[in-house]
Amino acid sequence: MVAYCFPPAGGLAAAGSQRTLKFAKYLLREGWTPVVLTVREDAYETYLELDPTLLNRVPPQVKVVRTPVIRWLTRILEMKNRLRAAPTGSESSRGTAPASNHEGQAVEAKTIYQKIKDTITDLFEIPDGEIGWLLPAVFAGLRAVHRDGVGVIYSSGKPWTAHLIGLVLKKIIGRPLVTDFRDPWMTNPFREEGSALKNRLEALIEKKVIEGSDVVITNTIALRKEFIKRFPLHTIKLLQYFFSFFFFYAVILFPNFCPCVN
């Protein structure tokens, strides 16, 4: 189970943590032995609250593998944002005086330079700012697969890097992949637009993840319909996630009576 959000992550990550934890608990009841691949507690971003009491809810039978995140990528992004926000000395000294042709050319050159710089730095957050988790998680996941005999790969996003990790593991070891979308990806109204190159690459990754998934789980009917419309030939099954996990097992036991499964 590839899940960035997992106890003790709380706050903004609480919903994602509880979702994966509930899946792990109910899979355990059905005879599965979940192996959760997540990040170390000191590897979470500082804006995420950690609640150590959530660890008490993790069943002892659930194996948890924690990895570091390569945060030098984050440092580059933070530097980019500081440089983007900081005014130059010439800007602060000009005040409101009208710009000359030379100054206008300088501003235009700076704008072009800024676009090039943004495009390059955007490459470090494809598909998101947690891309530094990819390599540590893939290596740890390969070890877990061979050590624990993992038969199915499950990934929960966002962050979308989790789905990319799941896809890479599937390509290497050939296990079935179940991707759980807690939110829309490219069509998310709160998604921050990047450069044209970033948008194209991220859309390609989303497409490859859907095409490479054996089962896709959505959390809303709207997202389910969207995926069916956008990827009609590639999605094997879409499972609408409802409030009760009892419905999840009803789908498994009685799929012919559940119209949400395709």
Q: Report the SS3 class of residue 135.
A: helix
pLDDT value of position 43: 93
> Residue 159's pLDDT is what?
95
8-state DSSP, 55: G
Q: Would you state the pLDDT for residue 12? A: 83
Walk me through the domains of the chain, giving residue ranges and CATH numbers.
2-71+128-257 (3.40.50.2000)
Q: What is the pLDDT of residue 196?
A: 84
pLDDT at residue 92, rounded to an integer: 46
Q: By the 8 A CB rule, do 3 and 38 touch?
A: yes
Digit-by-digit pLDDT tens for the chain (262 residues) are: 999 999 999 888 888 999 999 999 999 999 999 999 999 999 998 888 999 999 999 999 999 999 999 976 556 666 656 665 655 454 444 455 555 555 555 555 557 766 666 666 677 789 998 999 999 999 999 999 999 999 999 999 999 999 999 999 999 999 999 999 999 999 998 888 888 888 999 999 999 999 999 989 888 888 888 988 888 866 546 555 544 444 455 545 554 544 444 4
Q: What's residue 228's pLDDT?
A: 87
Pairwise CA distance, residues 204 & 58, whole Å? 35
8 Å CB contact between 165 and 205: no
CA angle, 24 as apex, 240 and 36 as ends, to 5°?
115
